[in-house]
Amino acid sequence: TDRYAIIGNPVAQSKSPLLQTAFARRLGQDMSYEAILATADTFHETVRRFMGEGGKGMNVTAPFKLDALDLVDEMSDRARAAQAINTLKFDDAGVYGDNTDGAGLVNDIQERMGISLAGRRLLVIGAGGASRGAFLPLLEAGPAYFLVVNRTESKAHAIVSDRAEQGRVEAGPIQRAEGGRFDVVINATSVSLTGDRLPLPEGIFAESSLAYELAYNKGHTAFLQDAAQGGAAHISDGLGMLVSQAAEGFLLWRGVRPDISEAMSLLREE
Ligand code: ATR
């Protein structure tokens, strides 16, 4: 039995054990998956111990996604771009770090929802860790126009940085979205967790547009309500992204891709 785990603080709330165990059962993989609590002081030694005991991989959740950067021998381009790691793989080559969050988001939009990002106009609101993690995979999906806006403008510019391209890949303050019309609008801020309301400019939703909230299990958030009223045709929270990023990690570890929709129903039933 190959051992895997998620490490975080807190970690008891994590859906990863449920998801990974369901994937493993469905695909007949002989593996176990546990939740491990660590502190800032014990994070590194806890990971090393798990490896020493023969562990094959870990998911890393808050607040350790940045700390994990220090313990990898190699990392994926998308982890480097995100400057954060959510998946570790241990083998003879050492410790490999990946970040599956952005790919999870892109897969959820394109595969589960059937909405292609290629050639579309894309707006991301927020420039924290979640936004930084999603940027490269979203850009690689080929939007015709991609604007990142944030309350603190400088952080939006930092995310876009050397990928900036006038008229195609741009950053600015939230008001910068005014007057634009977008096919996909993603809320990557933490307002849905704090109960704040975003100053969403009017008229930004193009016909048949999608409003996507990265947060999940928050019901119809103020952002999603405003979006529906503002003309968004499709709305979604981030539950599918959660399942898809887990599936992407499972693929890295086991070489097979689990089914998303089945795991989504499992979580919705919960
Ligand atoms: P996460 O890891 O979830 O991305 P984070 O790194 O703390 O969390 O980032 C939170 C994001 O939500 C930031 O973009 C933040 O904007 P600032 O960079 O200006 O702080 C945004 N945010 C939080 N509260 C907000 C509010 N009331 N209005 C607008 N943006 C807000």
Section 164-189 average pLDDT: 97
* 102-237 has the same fold as 2-99+241-269: yes
* Cα 187 to averaged position of ligand 1 atoms, centre (Å): 10
For the CA of 125, the nearest atom of ligand 1: 14
Residue 55, ligand 1, Cβ within 6 A = no
Residue 134, ligand 1, Cβ within 6 A = no
* Cα 43 to averaged position of ligand 1 atoms, centre (Å): 25
CATH hierarchy code of domain 102-237: 3.40.50.720
**Structural domain boundaries in the chain:** 2-99+241-269, 102-237
pTM of the model: 0.95
For atom 24 of ligand 1, the residue with the nearest CA is: 191
For 207-232, what is each residue's pLDDT tens digit?
999 999 999 988 899 999 999 999 99
Check whether 261 has a pLDDT greater than 90. no
For 82-114, what is each residue's pLDDT tens digit?
999 999 999 999 999 999 999 999 999 999 999
Check whether 269 has a pLDDT greater than 90. no
* Cα 70 to averaged position of ligand 1 atoms, centre (Å): 25
Residue 200, ligand 1, Cβ within 6 A = no
Provide the annotated active-site residues.
65
For the CA of 62, the nearest atom of ligand 1: 2
ipTM above 0.95, yes or no: yes
pLDDT at 217: 84
For atom 11 of ligand 1, the residue with the nearest CA is: 189
- Per-residue pLDDT band for 168 (boundaries 50, 70, 90) equals very high
For atom 26 of ligand 1, the residue with the nearest CA is: 191
CA atoms 38, 217, 140, 126: torsion sign? negative
Q: Phi first, then psi: give them for residue 209, nearest 5 degrees.
A: -80, 165
2-99+241-269: CATH topology is Rossmann fold (3.40.50)
